[in-house]
């Protein structure tokens, strides 16, 4: 069964450092997403990406965040200068359809710990 893969599974970084989280969405999917989940809390939408540009973003997704699809397979989330409160699980997701219906496939997540 096709799956969304994410790397690294866990990253520890110092406050103020840049972090790049990587995702390989399912190959025929067109819409890509990042969500995050702070420990013990609900999953929160960060950003959606389609046709090489951001479709929507939440208020969490400020100027410190950026996304990129550098090639035909990878989808990355960059945090420019990490803060303690960025510590969370970051989930990449993809879907073949546009908003409305269809299954959104999530990866296993990348745990970010900011010290």
Partner 1 sequence: GESVGLHLPTLSVQEGDNSIINCAYSNSASDYFIWYKQESGKGPQFIIDIRSNMDKRQGQRVTVLLNKTVKHLSLQIAATQPGDSAVYFCAENSYSGAGSYQLTFGKGTKLSVIP
Dihedral angle sign, alpha carbons of residues 29, 10, 46, 72? negative
Shortest distance, position 103 Cβ to partner 1, whole Å = 5
How far apart are alpha carbons 84 and 16 in whole angstroms? Answer: 9
Residue 105 near residue 91 (C-beta atoms within 8 A) = no
Shortest distance, position 52 Cβ to partner 1, whole Å = 13
The DSSP secondary structure of 15-61, one letter per residue, reads TT--EEEEEE--TT--EEEEEEE-TTS-EEEEEEEETTEEEEE-TT-
Which residues in the 69-98 window bind partner 1 by CB under 8 A? 91, 93, 95, 98
Which residues in the 15-74 window bind partner 1 by CB under 8 A? 31, 33, 35, 41-45, 48, 50, 55-56, 58
In the complex with partner 1, which residue's Cβ is closer, 14 or 100? 100
Q: Write out the residues near partner 1 by the rule CB under 8 A.
A: 4, 31, 33, 35, 41-45, 48, 50, 55-56, 58, 91, 93, 95, 98-101, 103-109
């Amino acid at each position: 069964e096709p799956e969304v893969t994410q790397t690294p599974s866990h990253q520890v970084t110092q406050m103020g450092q840049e972090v790049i989280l990587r995702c390989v969405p399912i190959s025929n999917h067109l819409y890509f997403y990042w969500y995050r989940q702070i420990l013990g809390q609900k999953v929160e939408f960060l950003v959606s990406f389609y046709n090489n540009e951001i479709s929507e973003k939440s208020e969490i997704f400020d100027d410190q965040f950026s996304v990129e699809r550098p090639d035909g397979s990878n989808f990355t989330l960059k945090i420019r200068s990490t803060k303690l409160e960025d510590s969370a699980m970051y989930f990449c997701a993809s879907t073949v359809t546009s908003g409305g219906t269809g299954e959104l496939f999530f990866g296993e997540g990348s745990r970010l710990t900011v010290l």
